[in-house]
Amino acid sequence: MSRHATFSLVTVSLFAALTAVGAFIKIPLPYVPFTLQILFTFMAGSLLGSKKGMQSQLVYVAIGLAGLPVFTQGGGIGYVLQPTFGYLIGFIAAAFVVGRIIERIQSPKTHHFVIANLTGLFVVYLIGVPYLYLALNLWLGVPSSWAHIIMIGFVYSVGGDIVISVLTGILATRLYKAVFSIRNNQIELTRESIR
């Protein structure tokens, strides 16, 4: 295995683990607890790029579905029936979207990271809120109106998530150059070892 492949494997695994840690830093709210998972999801997209950022969240979700209690309320394949599972799907898509936006910019600045994160946040809610509605109304037997779902699945938590999106953008700006430099060095070392 090349140094670049090893570095990629380590960073993907690291962000999967950090997202799991973020699940346990939470403020309990009805149905959708407020956690720091979104911080690590957006950092994964910003620092690893679209594909590896998405892979880190896929690894996180796969480990949880395999049975490890890395989600806010445990783990296991039955977690797909939890009303919050749509947000986990949203994390996978959001990491890709954030990474894709940053990849298209030559030298991203703080506002680019913040805009990418806010776009990613929109993706998380775009998937999470309808899933919450379906879960409560269809298979959990808790009749809920769209107004109620938007209140508990969006309004209660979006303010804190916007703050985290901005703070993550500032943090990503500081870390991006360092991570980008390390990644380029690993690629260069791999090329030299092939020659």
- pLDDT value, residue 192: 55
Instruction: Tell me if 113 sits within 8 A of 102, measured CB to CB.
Output: yes
- Angle at alpha carbon of residue 60, lines to 54 and 63, rounded to 5°: 135
Q: Angle formed by the axes of helices 110-134 and 156-194, to 10°? A: 120
- pLDDT value, residue 25: 86
Decide which of 131 and 188 is more confident: 131
CB atoms within 10 A of CB 76: 14
Residue 162: both structure tokens together: 């916007």
Tell me the β-bridge partners of 78.
none
pTM here is: 0.89
CA distance 57 to 65: 12
Domain 3-194 has CATH 1.10.1760.20: yes
CA distance 174 to 160: 22
- pLDDT value, residue 190: 54
Give 53's pLDDT tier (boundaries 50, 70, 90).
very high
pLDDT in tens, 140-181: 999 999 999 999 999 988 998 999 999 999 999 999 988 777
Helix residue spans in the chain (DSSP H) = 3-23, 37-48, 50-65, 85-103, 110-134, 146-150, 156-194
Q: Which CA distances in Å does 58 have to 35, 51, 102?
A: 18, 10, 20
Q: How many residues does the chain have?
A: 195
Q: For the chain, give every domain's residue range.
A: 3-194
Grouping H, G, I as helix, E, B as strand and the rest as coil, residue 35 is: strand
Q: Which helix (H) or strand (E) holds 122?
A: helix 110-134
Mean pLDDT of 25-38: 77
Q: Which residues contact 184 (CB under 8 A, 6 or more apart)?
A: none
